[in-house]
Homo-oligomer: A and B are copies of this chain.
Amino acid sequence: MNGAESLLRTLAEAGVEVCFSNPGTTELHLVGALDAVPGVRAVLGLFEGVATGAADGYARIAGKPAATLLHLGPGLGHGLSNLHNARRANSPIVNIVGDHPTYHKPYDPPLESDIETVARSLRGPVRRPENAAGVRHDAISALAEALEPPGQIATLIMPADVSWADGVAVGGDGDRPTVPARPVPAVSPALVDQVAQVLRSGEESALVIGGTAGQAAGLYAASRIAAASGARVFLETYASRVEHGAGLPSFPRLGFYPEQVLRQLDGARHVVVAGTSAPVAFFAYPDQPSRLVPDGAQTHVLAEAGQDAVGALTALADLLAPDSRPEVTEPARPAMPTGPLTVETWPAVIGALLPDRAIVIDETISSGIGLPAATAGAPRHDVLAQCGGAMGEGMPLAIGAAIAAPDRPVIALEADGCAIYTLSALWTQARENLNVTNVILNNRSYAILREEWQHLGAGASDPHTNKLLDLSGPEIDFVGLARAFGVAGSRASTAEELAEQFTRALAEPGPHLIEAVIPPTA
């Protein structure tokens, strides 16, 4: 077999099931191998950012890496923004980038560029097998590195001549590769004990959880800790995956703006952190701090991302109150609203109708503030945020989530400005017939930038007349965009319309897009 087939066979044998691809000439032997090797499903995106965002969504739901397949440096460039988001979500990805043969590169052909340098900006390992016989080792290593807690982007650059070189003997039946286990490091009992003493001190405390602690076991433990110690619990602002809904504890998310976070943590003498980092400002503002822990408060890192945060929280709860039970949300739906859609009414419609076991992608930016409260008593679901701040991941995330969990409804809630970056994700959703309901919150502006303008004091002029912050001319017809990509589309301006269209979208198989027209929030 050739190097390309060795790569695909190795990944398949090691349990990689999907490759999100946008290939070119240098990747054609890999395209051939995807046909020839059973076990790895090839999913085509028409833009590399769709492929990388889908790999992020897949990793979050499947709990294991997918591969990507990107075309040279420019393809990696197109995929970089959502790889950045994936890195911030700690999603494991085997990021395969094709390259010219090594002997061809010194001739500096048009597509030659510095792939290594760009890949290194993702702070994960970068490998380049030198020959076809070395592919299997590098593939297994990249997979192991991707899985290193908390998960990272491992890039594998495949020169075309390594892909096409023949005569590799490794791989095949009964030769299942061993991917070295990378166990999640436990937190020392001494540190758990130390934090327990802090919480027993009676001084006001806050507990900020994120990462793996967003899953049910972490939420239960955090609730028990709150009950035993009086600590206020908060979720990190943008979490890779949080379980939410009836039967689970529900905690407020930390706000986006520094003054919001400082108000939430006000009075705390101790801030305990588990599964994430101590809160910092998303953006900097003149005369606002970067570090968002109240003056005089002590930070205690119980578990970093990559450590066993759930184990540490559970041990801490057991220490503080061994027999305690978590406080969970009762099943409850918001009353179905009527009349025009607003930032208040649209989340209520979603909360009233959210189906069981949904996966909710939240890239609503300025429009989604009411969503957590509106869905707190809905049937249990997962919420995936876009973690890196790079707009345009929602609809790709939905692809990956739907492929990882084909039996679950996926709901992508998208700000209009975000949706435009990766529009062709709709085409992949249609091609793969994925059960995704995309709801585009269309306020026809970069509303978040108008909000930020006020926060920054960015200029004497009025952000509402600034041409660069206005998306109203021409108005974008998202229903038309959806249909052009083969996705059923409809437009809702009232709560009644959204309810009817959302219900229908969930009932019918395949992807749907609902353009929800809302007034600008800022």
CB within 8 Å of B: which residues of A?
Answer: 21, 23-26, 28-29, 31-36, 42, 44, 46-47, 49, 72-75, 77-81, 84-85, 88, 100-101, 103-104, 107-111, 113-114, 117-118, 120-121, 123, 160-161, 164, 238, 277, 280-284, 286, 290-291, 387-392, 417, 420-421, 423-424, 427, 430-431, 448-449, 452-453, 456, 458-461, 466-469, 471, 473-481, 483-486
Contact = CB atoms under 8 A, between A and B. Distances in A.
* 5 closest residue pairs by CB, A with B: A32-B459, A474-B486, A77-B80, A480-B484, A74-B390
B111 A390 contact: yes
Contacts of A290: 103-104, 107, 109
Contact of A110 (B46, B282, B475): B282
Contact of A77 (B77, B108, B117): B77
Given A29-B456, A77-B84, A88-B110, 12 more contacts: A24-B449, A25-B448, A26-B283, A28-B459, A74-B85, A77-B79, A103-B284, A104-B284, A108-B280, A114-B121, A117-B121, A420-B424
A33 B484 contact: no
Contacts of A25: 283, 448-449, 452, 456
B468 A23 contact: yes
Contact of A108 (B21, B277, B480): B277
B423 A424 contact: yes
22 contacts: A28-B458, A28-B459, A31-B459, A36-B460, A42-B467, A44-B467, A46-B420, A74-B388, A77-B78, A100-B284, A103-B284, A104-B281, A109-B284, A110-B388, A111-B282, A111-B389, A111-B390, A164-B456, A423-B423, A476-B485, A477-B484, A478-B484
Contacts of A84: 73-74, 77, 113
Nearest to A84: B74
A110 B238 contact: yes
A40 to B, nearest CB: 12
A432 to B, nearest CB: 10
Given A28-B449, A33-B459, A46-B421, A475 B486 contact: yes
B476 A427 contact: yes
Nearest to A50: B420
Given A84-B74, A481-B481, A431 B281 contact: no
Contact of A120 (B47, B78, B117): B117
| Copies per complex of this chain | 2
A13 to B, nearest CB: 20
Contacts of A85: 74
A78 B107 contact: no
Contacts of A35: 459, 461, 466-467
Given A120-B117, A460-B36, A280 B109 contact: yes
Given A121-B114, A284-B160, A449-B23, A458 B420 contact: no
Contacts of A417: 46
Contact of A452 (B28, B34, B468, B473): B28
Residue of A103, A164, A478 most packed against chain B (CB within 10 A) = A164
Contacts of A456: 25, 28-29, 164
A304 B420 CA distance: 41
A477 B427 CA distance: 11
A125 to B, nearest CB: 15
Contacts of A103: 284, 290
B421 A78 contact: yes
Nearest to A46: B420
Nearest to A431: B473
Residue of A73, A458, A466, A476 most packed against chain B (CB within 10 A) = A458
Residue of A109, A120, A392 most packed against chain B (CB within 10 A) = A109
A161 B475 CA distance: 34
Contacts of A388: 74, 110-111
A430 B477 CA distance: 13
Contacts of A427: 420, 474, 476
Nearest to A79: B77
A30 to B, nearest CB: 9
B32 A458 contact: yes
Nearest to A280: B107
A471 B389 CA distance: 31
Residue of A107, A108, A282, A424 most packed against chain B (CB within 10 A) = A107
A113 B87 CA distance: 10
A475 B46 CA distance: 13
Contacts of A461: 32, 35-36
A44 B468 contact: yes
Given A111-B389, A280-B108, A164 B286 contact: yes
